[in-house]
Amino acid sequence: MVIDPATLPISEVSERVYRVILSCYPQIDLFERVSKPEEWDVLYAVESLTNPRLRDEVGDIRLVAAEDRVYGDGASWIMAAFTHPPVDGRGGRFNKDFGVYYCSPAEAVSIAESSFHRARFLRESRIEAATQDMRVICAHLGPSSLHDVRHLAGAAIYDPDDYTESQRLGSALRGTNSFGVHYRSVRTDGECFGVMRPRILSDAIHWRYLRYHYRKGEIVEVESLGGSVGSAP
């Protein structure tokens, strides 16, 4: 049974959050070069005449309501999560055919979450060993109100592998124009946010680079450019 968003408590949030992505994802400077929403269509039309890859870089802007779009410094790190929905068929915990900005108030939690997903991807790709360079994005979330499901520990939405129920909840939340969901991490002890509308995110910056060392199905070490920040037990 789908959880009714109207029955969920509300969490008020306003804090720094961290997100980890592959470092190969480029910054989309078109979002940075626009300061007003009304400038977007004109600049996009002009740029697309000379840049045939622009649509792939920008993603599907139609997935984001005009009033929720963000522009200016750091905007591409935010908008990319919403204009590039999952393409692997599995989707994210709370989304399948639309974008969600997953992040955590604790950098270590974001690293644990992304380490799990990178390891699963490499394992399913039958790769024995690899290194992957990652980028940590730091941004500000809020002030805003998110639907809170932290009290539902043990519910089907927290199944470690099956996202059926959590994606149903995500679709229901999106249908109510929810700003997002506040939930417990499934991969480590901590909390996460699944942001569904970009306008409550701001001041996104590149924080640092990490290198994930993968061997035989697991991320065995997480290395920063300045040294090791964690390793598998």
H or E, element range at 147: strand 129-148
Could you give the count of Cα atoms lying within 13 Å of 135 in the half-sphere of its Cβ? 14
Distance CA 169, CA 198 (A): 19
Nearest to residue 76, comparing CAs of 95, 90, 93, 57?
Answer: 57
Distance CA 202, CA 142 (A): 8
Interior/surface letters 47-66, b for 16+ CB within 10 angstroms, e for the rest? eeeeeeeeeebbbebeebee
Task: Give residue 58's pLDDT.
Answer: 74
Question: Do the domain assignments include residue 203?
Answer: yes
Helices and strands counted in the chain (H then E) = 6, 8
Tokens of 90: 């599995």
Q: What residue numbers bound the domain in which 223 lies? A: 5-26+95-231
Question: Do the domain assignments include residue 176?
Answer: yes
Residue 137 identity (one-letter amino acid): I
- Those residues whose C-beta lies under 8 Å from the C-beta of residue 42, and which sit 6 or more positions away, are none
Question: Do the domain assignments include residue 210?
Answer: yes
Q: What is the mean pLDDT of residues 48-59?
A: 66
Question: Do the domain assignments include residue 58?
Answer: no
Residue 36 scores a pLDDT above 80: no
Tens digits of residue pLDDT in 127-174: 999 999 999 999 999 999 999 999 998 999 999 999 999 999 999 999
Are the C-beta atoms of residues 131 and 217 closer than 8 Å to each other? no
Task: Give residue 167's pLDDT.
Answer: 97
Count structural domains, the chain.
1
Task: Give residue 193's pLDDT.
Answer: 98
Question: Do the domain assignments include residue 59?
Answer: no
Tens digits of residue pLDDT in 177-222: 999 999 999 999 999 999 999 999 999 999 999 999 999 899 999 9
Question: Do the domain assignments include residue 70?
Answer: no
Tens digits of residue pLDDT in 76-91: 899 999 988 888 888 9
Distance CA 225, CA 95 (A): 32
Question: Do the domain assignments include residue 204?
Answer: yes
Question: Do the domain assignments include residue 139?
Answer: yes
User: Residue 233, Cβ neighbours under 10 Å: how many?
Assistant: 4
Where do runs of H (alpha helix) occur along 157-233? 164-175
User: Residue 35, Cβ neighbours under 10 Å: how many?
Assistant: 11
Distance CA 116, CA 111 (A): 9
